[in-house]
């Protein structure tokens, strides 16, 4: 590189242009990293949400729906359609 005291205007402008281009690439890379990080965090949160919803669905399917089905069968006086229906629930039903 030419010493500053011997630099022409064209060389100075060229150096400034090169520095601006390098600085611009650094800024664009920094912004791209920020966008990538936001997307990565969003996907992580979506995966956590889907995991919680899957666990909720398992709890509902294995626990609550059986109770609701049993209660409805008692109230209607009908037997449950599932294989694991307990006959004792409908035997003691008095209708009140």
Q: Per the domain annotation, does 85 fall within a domain?
A: no
> Phi first, then psi: what are they for 94, rounded to 5°?
-105, -5
In a domain, 37, yes or no: yes
pLDDT averaged over the chain? 80
Examine residue 27 and state whether it is found in any structural domain, yes or no: yes
Whether the predicted pLDDT of 93 surpasses 70: no
**How crowded is the C-beta side of 41, counted as CA atoms within 13 Å?**
6
Total structural domains in the chain? Answer: 1
pLDDT at 26 > cutoff 60: yes
Q: Structural domain of residue 43, as residue ranges?
A: 12-78
SS3 4: helix
pTM, two decimal places: 0.44
Give a yes or no: residue 6 inside a domain. no
CB 39 within 8 A of CB 33: no
Max mean pLDDT among 1-5, 40-44, 65-69, 78-82 falls in: 40-44
Contacts of 66 (CB under 8 A, 6+ apart): 82, 84
CB 89 within 8 A of CB 75: no
Is residue 93 a part of any domain in this protein?
A: no
Tell whether 54 is covered by a domain: yes
């Amino acid at each position: 590189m030419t010493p500053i005291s011997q630099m022409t205007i064209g060389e100075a402008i060229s150096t400034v242009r090169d520095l601006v281009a390098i600085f611009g690439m650094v800024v664009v890379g920094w912004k791209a990293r920020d966008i990538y990080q936001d997307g990565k965090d969003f996907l992580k949160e979506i995966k956590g949400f889907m995991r919680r919803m899957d666990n909720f669905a398992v709890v509902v399917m294995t626990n609550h729906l059986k109770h609701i089905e049993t209660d409805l069968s008692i109230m209607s006086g009908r037997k449950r359609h599932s294989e694991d229906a307990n006959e004792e629930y409908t035997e003691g039903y008095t209708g009140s």
